[in-house]
Amino acid sequence: MGSGEMLSNTENRIENTGWDYLDYRKVDTREYVESGIADGSLEVIEAIKTGKLGAEQGKIGQEVISWSEGENGEPIKEKVATVKADEETGEPGWIVTKLDEEGNPLVDHNGYLNQWIIPDKKFKEKYEADAEHPGVFKPAGGPQKFVETKENLTISQWGNKMNMPKGSFINVTNPDDMYAVNPRDFRDTYQKVGEGSSLDSFEEPTTWDNLAEKMTS
């Protein structure tokens, strides 16, 4: 994908965002995960990312709309974000696009590209260039830890409001950098490791610090 081929969802603006009839509960991600693991309502699973992405550094101020789907396939506008300079590297964020098995930009049945923005530092930590395919990137690193949400939630992610349908997954590998993946993207790009939770049940009230220690052990 060259710079002249960057595709965008910004022209696909419709009023039916999926927000009209779905109720989202606004939560603090950290508190939601902490309490859910402590009371046993959230189970930690491990998964490894297998899908590849097309990616380019965006231009400061460039807008990207991220779309998902509800349980019946209806379009849901997850978030509207703009490319910003990374606070640590000073470089613009990356606009990433999910690719199909042939390496083409994936368009869902509602006509939307699957795109989002990743800050420069995070992108370079999580992805590496595919030497055989310019503009294509593959995941770096090993298995990561997730919890599956049990309801529709609204969270703050990398400075933007994000709507997460029930059954989304929150990456809890790094408790200081948790982020969400909607059910469709998780299904398409991750493969679960093992049968279930990598954590034992907790016998006493748990603080976030020792939860984090258990997650990374």
- At residue 14, the pLDDT reads 35
Among candidate residues 145, 186, 141, 137, the one with its CA nearest the CA of residue 165: 186
The pLDDT tens digits for 148-166 are: 999 999 988 877 788 888 9
62: which 2 tokens? 């460039």
Task: Spell out the alpha helix ranges (H) of 3-146.
Answer: 29-38, 120-126
pLDDT digits (tens, 9 = 90+) for 34-91: 999 999 999 999 998 888 899 999 999 999 998 888 777 888 888 889 999 999 999 9
Residue 152 CA to residue 106 CA, distance in Å, equals 25
pTM of the predicted protein model: 0.60
* pLDDT digits 0-9 by tens, 117-133: 999 999 998 899 998 88
The three-point CA angle 31-167-104 to 5° equals 115
